[in-house]
Amino acid sequence: MTSRELNSVIARFKHLYSSYELSRALIPLILLLIASIGMSPQYFLNPMNIKVVLMQITPLALIATGEMLIILMGSIDLSPGSAQAATAMIAAIITRATDNILLAMLAAIALGTTIGVINGILVAKLKIYSFVATLAALVIWRSFVIVVSGGRLIYGLTQYSVFTQDFGTYIPIGFLLAVLIIILIYVLLIKTVFGRYIYGLGSNEEAVRLAGVRADLAKFLAFTIAGALYGLGGVMLIAMGGFAVDPWSARGNELNAIASCVLGGIMLTGGSGHPLGSLLGASMLTILTNILVLLGVTEIAVQQTVVGIVLIGAATALTRGLRYVK
Amino acid sequence: MSNRQAVLAERIVKKFPGVVAVNDVTFELRYGEIHGLLGQNGAGKSTLLRVIYGVYRPDQGSIYINGRKVFLKSPRDARNHGIALVHQEITVIPSLTVLENIALLGFSWNSLASKFDYTSFKEYIDRIMARFDIGLNMNERVRHLSAAERMLLQVIAALSINAKILLLDEPTSPLSLHEIERLFNVLNQLKKEGLAIAFVTHRVNEAIDICDRITILRNGEKIDTVESRSIDVHSLIKLMLGREPEELYRVRDEKSFDFLLGKYAAEKPLIELRGVYTQPQIAAEIPLKNINIKVYQGEVVAIFGFIGAGKTEIGKTLMGLTKIVKGDILYMGRGIKIKSPVDAINHGIFYLPEDRKVEGLIPHFTVASNMDISSLDIIKRFAIFIDEKRELQVAYDMVKKLNIVTPSPYAKIIQLSGGNQQKVLVARAMLTNAKLVIFDEPTVGIDIGAKAEIRRLIFRYSRERGTSSLILTSDVDEAIGLADRIYVIRDGEIIREYYNKKLDRDEILKNLA
């Protein structure tokens, strides 16, 4: 085959697949955007509102991307909420103590990575079901937050306003940073051997192991990278959440992360989904809540019910054509 | 034969993305006959059956039942017309009893309102069983039933809802010879009672044994419908494959045998198991006892034995998945330890599993990525990145070399037929630089044509590249047609070793009698 023929085959077939998986997330997002603009053009398109939405997307998209790595390989992670809170709390304490935001950030990411390393060891080495291992992590790291914070709120961390600056574009720096990181994860998943292994593990772990892949190492690395993303998500939680952290911050965010993945077309059984799905899903979840608020639905219970219904719709669309699910 | 027509599927066309599964096929089934649908894998026989059962809607053509044109929207419609499908993959519920399963399979929402009378239902089923001479214990849990008995259970369930048209999809593939006989007795009874039975199979002998008429399909097209009385095995195979059967068997040339004798004298074996005993971690595995096996470089060795004799266990032991309690694995005469598949591959040992779906294929992956999952090293650049152009080139070359039928190297693996999927896995092994490839039942469940092709590939691959092949097989013809040496295994022990020269299959088989 000549090089030109080769390229045309790549273009024809390669893109068919990835675009299908991308469209699973992109089309509903576009529909949601059109609906939102249609329902409340003057408020929704208001630059300040757009900025608020982008700010809200940022921490969620980061932890959802970590969660996506785990879900793609067929496991589940219940620790992102607690991990995000723990890393945010550490960052807040260090910022208070040293006024060095860079040091605080590094510490947060280091703690997040440690949380991921421990999750990875529990699942890959000690062979504990990821659901159970990370359920333990959920409660343990939340307890850690309560202990180190002494139960107090830490506020006024205005140093983090560097991430909310937009230089007149209404696109906050923190959001751009998150998108950049997510693109790196995209490259990792689509273009590298590691990414291939992650998808393979989610699709048929037994086969991948028999094929001689160092599956435990790949799993361990996935949890570790996810942990680092939770750490960065913790930093952005401070920046985008009013420069404050309290012991119950990010509570339930593991569920928002999983919901983002579902909305983003990531199959919960693993092996299938576009790497930008988490970002698109987090955007959908945020915009959905935003438009409800703009329409005057301020009651949390009503908002959550609508989100739940949308989630059911998305999950149904995702598993359409399957004979059964677990 | 002048019996009344039960089903007429007229000029049926069914397309799937990229393939025409059934192309303009007309199939007639009469009451009081067993009508075989014969063809290789991917010939379209199961698809046709599913069209008649209402699972798929045909793109063109019409279906007549008892002379009336019908539109089947779902299997429920088909059942209402008296059609039942018996299939090895239809789930019976292991924790329930036979009677409960029959009630469930025959259950319809319409009968929900009426009260379920256990005693009279049992009597009803007992009467059916007595009539057809099916001996099943009604109170047995289904988990204790054999594959044949589960099949019979489905037949009873079909009879219990007064089905007059039975569709059987490859009913015999999980059965032993004895069980097949039992099933055939029942089918002949049903035929006498006037039922119409369609029987899908890829086994030529069976078709001739049990069927009155046989319709042969090839590549989705109908070749012919013949009376089984007036045709012999040879011509039937020819119709099914479209070529002469002789060329399919003997893959190996005996010329190279003397060359191997030289090797046996001069060289150390590439891999040797010396006095290996194992302790299985899973209940279903059997322990190996005093296994002594040698495989020389470039040699094709078969381990022949029935299912459950310990063949797969030898493969798993070499992959480090079963614990050795005594004995050694030697690599070129030096002792090595294998603790995991990663270790095995580092020592140049690669294993292609018996169960393609469960342990082999990666269903979400393309043909290309299924091939190179074990050899991403050769398509890597900058240490971690996948070179997509190189991946396509490598896959494209393999598709050509192995004659894999696929719309493109980027087609999803699940779109391929069983034989072609197996070829992709063979390609996976060939792409590694393995020195020994273990093929566990490489041709089980695929049709004769693809069988011969895969055997030829394995043989050529060993001879040309000098890679050793260890074939674990329960097919004696495969062992004789392919291997240089044959070990016979029974109950976890090697009981004979043969040099494959002028070897007779009965000579081997008598070991297992």
Cβ-Cβ contacts under 8 Å, B342 against chain A: 212-214
For residue B353, being part of any structural domain is answered with no
Residue B186 identity: V
Helix, strand or coil for residue A319? coil
Asked if the model's pLDDT at residue B308 lies above 80, the reply is no
Instruction: Name residues whose C-beta falls within 8 Å of residue A176's C-beta, 6 or more positions apart in sequence.
Output: none
Which of B189, B224, B244 is the C-terminal boundary of a domain? Answer: B244
Instruction: Please tell me the distance from the alpha carbon of residue A133 to that of residue B144, in angstroms, as a whole number.
Output: 36
Total number of domains in chain B: 3
Which of B432, B461, B486 is the C-terminal boundary of a domain? Answer: B432
CATH number at residue B200: 3.40.50.300
Helix, strand or coil for residue B281? coil
Q: Which residue in chain A has the smallest CA separation from B315?
A: A210
As a whole number of Å, the CA-based R_g of chain A is 20
Instruction: Please tell me the distance from the alpha carbon of residue A257 to that of residue A62, in angstroms, as a whole number.
Output: 9
Asked if the model's pLDDT at residue A226 lies above 90, the reply is yes
Q: How far apart are the first and last CA of chain B?
A: 41
Q: Which of B351, B362, B410 is opposite residue A13, by nearest beta carbon?
A: B410
Cβ-Cβ contacts under 8 Å, B345 against chain A: 212
| Residue pair A318/A267 in contact by the 8 Å Cβ criterion | yes
Examine the predicted complex and report whether its ipTM is higher than 0.95. Answer: no
- Burial profile B305-324: b = 16 or more Cβ within 10 angstroms, e = fewer: beeebbbbbbbbbbbbbbeb
**Beta pairing partners, B279:** B323
The answer to whether the CB atoms of A192 and B344 lie below 8 A apart is no
Which of B244, B272, B294 is the C-terminal boundary of a domain? Answer: B244
Residues of chain A above pLDDT 70, percent? 92
pLDDT in tens, A194-208: 999 999 999 999 999
Q: What value does the mean pLDDT take over residues A150-162?
A: 92
Instruction: Please tell me the distance from the alpha carbon of residue A191 to that of residue B150, in angstroms, as a whole number.
Output: 47
Distance from CA of A118 to the nearest CA of B (A): 23
Confidence of residue B90 (pLDDT cuts 50, 70, 90): low
Same domain, B187 and B230: yes
Same domain, B428 and B444: no
The answer to whether the CB atoms of A212 and B344 lie below 8 A apart is yes
Helix (H) or strand (E) holding A232: helix A215-240
pLDDT in tens, A285-301: 999 999 999 998 888 89
Question: What's the fold here for domain A32-318?
Answer: ABC transporter involved in vitamin B12 uptake, BtuC (1.10.3470)
What backbone phi and psi angles, to 5 degrees, belong to B295?
Answer: -130, 120
Q: Which of B361, B355, B354 is nearest to B414 (CA)?
A: B361
For residue B342, being part of any structural domain is answered with yes
Same domain, B128 and B254: no
Distance from CA of B485 to the nearest CA of A (A): 26
In this structure, of A177-191, B80-94, B101-115, the range with the lowest mean pLDDT score is: B101-115
Asked if the model's pLDDT at residue B375 lies above 50, the reply is yes
| Residue pair B280/B314 in contact by the 8 Å Cβ criterion | no
The answer to whether the CB atoms of B362 and A209 lie below 8 A apart is no
Instruction: Name residues whose C-beta falls within 8 Å of residue B7's C-beta, 6 or more positions apart in sequence.
Output: B27, B28, B29, B52, B63, B64, B65, B83, B165, B196, B198
Instruction: Please tell me the distance from the alpha carbon of residue B419 to that of residue B489, in angstroms, as a whole number.
Output: 27
Instruction: Name residues whose C-beta falls within 8 Å of residue B364's C-beta, 6 or more positions apart in sequence.
Output: A199, A202, A203, A271, A272, B412
Asked if the model's pLDDT at residue B337 lies above 80, the reply is yes
Instruction: Please tell me the distance from the alpha carbon of residue B58 to that of residue B50, in angstroms, as a whole number.
Output: 10
Q: Which of B221, B216, B189 is nearest to B204 (CA)?
A: B216
Regarding predicted confidence, which is higher, B397 or B507?
Answer: B397
Q: Max Cα separation, chain B? A: 80
Q: What value does the mean pLDDT take over residues A20-43?
A: 89
Q: How many residues does chain A have?
A: 326
Cβ-Cβ contacts under 8 Å, B411 against chain A: 13
Distance from CA of A66 to the nearest CA of B (A): 20
Q: What value does the mean pLDDT take over residues B313-326?
A: 92
The answer to whether the CB atoms of A13 and B411 lie below 8 A apart is yes
Regarding predicted confidence, which is higher, A84 or B55?
Answer: A84
Q: Which pLDDT value is given to residue A264?
A: 93
B365, B369, B370, B393: best mutation site toward chain A, by most A Cβ within 10 Å? B365
Q: Which residue in chain B has the smallest CA separation from A206?
A: B359
The answer to whether the CB atoms of A193 and B410 lie below 8 A apart is no
CA A236 to chain centre: 12
| Residue pair A253/A261 in contact by the 8 Å Cβ criterion | no
Q: Which two tokens stand for residue B448?
A: 């004769």
Q: Which pLDDT value is given to residue B243?
A: 61
The DSSP call for residue A77 is -
Neighbours of B144 (CB within 10 A): 11
Q: What value does the mean pLDDT take over residues B373-399?
A: 91
Tell me which residue has tokens 């013809």: B477
Residues of chain B above pLDDT 90, percent? 39
Helix (H) or strand (E) holding B22: strand B19-30
Asked if the model's pLDDT at residue B1 lies above 50, the reply is no
Q: Which pLDDT value is given to residue B205?
A: 83
- Say what the alpha-carbon torsion angle B85, B91, B93, B99 is, to the nearest 10 degrees: 10
- Say what the alpha-carbon torsion angle B107, B110, B114, B117 is, to the nearest 10 degrees: -10
Cβ-Cβ contacts under 8 Å, B350 against chain A: 212
Q: What value does the mean pLDDT take over residues A154-171?
A: 92
- For the entire predicted model, the pTM comes to 0.75
Q: Which residue in chain B has the smallest CA separation from A270?
A: B364
Same domain, B318 and B238: no
Instruction: Name residues whose C-beta falls within 8 Å of residue A180's C-beta, 6 or more positions apart in sequence.
Output: none
Domain residue extents for chain A: 32-318
Helix (H) or strand (E) holding A93: helix A80-98
Q: Which pLDDT value is given to residue B355?
A: 83
In this structure, of A219-228, B65-74, B89-98, the range with the lowest mean pLDDT score is: B89-98
Nearest 5 degrees, angle CA A288-CA A289-CA A295? Answer: 90
Q: Which residue in chain A has the smallest CA separation from B357?
A: A207
Confidence of residue B474 (pLDDT cuts 50, 70, 90): confident
Same domain, B320 and B402: no
Taking the CA of residue A153 as centre, how many other CA atoms within 13 Å lie in the half-sphere pointing to its CB? 7
- Say what the alpha-carbon torsion angle B243, B246, B250, B253 is, to the nearest 10 degrees: -90
Helix, strand or coil for residue A111? helix
pLDDT in tens, A250-294: 999 999 999 999 999 999 889 999 999 999 999 999 999 999 999
The answer to whether the CB atoms of A193 and B386 lie below 8 A apart is yes
Q: Which pLDDT value is given to residue B471?
A: 95
The answer to whether the CB atoms of A207 and B360 lie below 8 A apart is yes
Same domain, B135 and B268: no
B219 sits in the region (left: phi over 0; alpha: psi -120 to 50; else beta) called left
The answer to whether the CB atoms of A203 and B341 lie below 8 A apart is no
pLDDT in tens, B179-227: 788 889 889 988 998 999 999 988 888 888 899 999 999 878 898 999 9
Q: What value does the mean pLDDT take over residues A240-257?
A: 92
Tell me which residue has tokens 């490489």: B442
Q: Which pLDDT value is given to residue B172?
A: 80
Asked if the model's pLDDT at residue A144 lies above 90, the reply is yes
In this structure, of A80-84, B41-45, B74-78, B384-388, the range with the lowest mean pLDDT score is: B41-45
Range ranked top by mean pLDDT from A213-217, A305-309, B39-43: A213-217
If you average pLDDT over every residue of chain A, what do you get? 91
Same domain, B278 and B418: no
pLDDT in tens, A87-105: 999 999 999 999 999 999 9
The answer to whether the CB atoms of B384 and A194 lie below 8 A apart is yes
Q: Which two tokens stand for residue A287?
A: 């915009």
Instruction: Please tell me the distance from the alpha carbon of residue B48 to that of residue B61, in angstroms, as a whole number.
Output: 12
Same domain, B491 and B505: yes
- Provide the domain limits for residue B227: 5-244
Asked if the model's pLDDT at residue B26 lies above 60, the reply is yes
Q: What value does the mean pLDDT take over residues A56-74?
A: 97
Tell me which residue has tokens 């590298």: A192
